[in-house]
Amino acid sequence: MMRLDKALSAWGTPDFRDILKQEIVLLGADHLPLQQGLSNGNYVTAAPIDVMINSVAEMEKVIRIKAGIFYQGVMGGCSCEDDPTPVSASNEYCEVQLDIDKTTAVVEVVLVT
């Protein structure tokens, strides 16, 4: 269960977006649907991600965030041992929706299609 406690605590303050971005970065690829959002590669790299907050809306029970995630992917599994083609990372982007429960800070994340 993922939580964004610091972001929820900062809700309504000028620091909310910055704290939210920091917490999303800390979630990292393991907790975000980045693999499903790949468009150029077939594996997400371990490179750090960057986050852009596209929209924030307060709903009855949740704070709904749409965020753009910038990350890197690689096309793996297509080289033979004697193939000199280097594996190079490609830039990727996807959008996710995060719903932060206003009482528990539990967050639900889905890929926006």
Place of tokens 């852009």: 52
Question: pLDDT, tens digit, for every residue of 47-98?
Answer: 999 999 999 999 999 999 999 999 999 987 655 565 556 568 899 999 999 9
Mean pLDDT across 1-11:
96
C-alpha–C-alpha distance, residues 113 and 98, integer Å: 14
**pTM of the entire predicted model:** 0.87
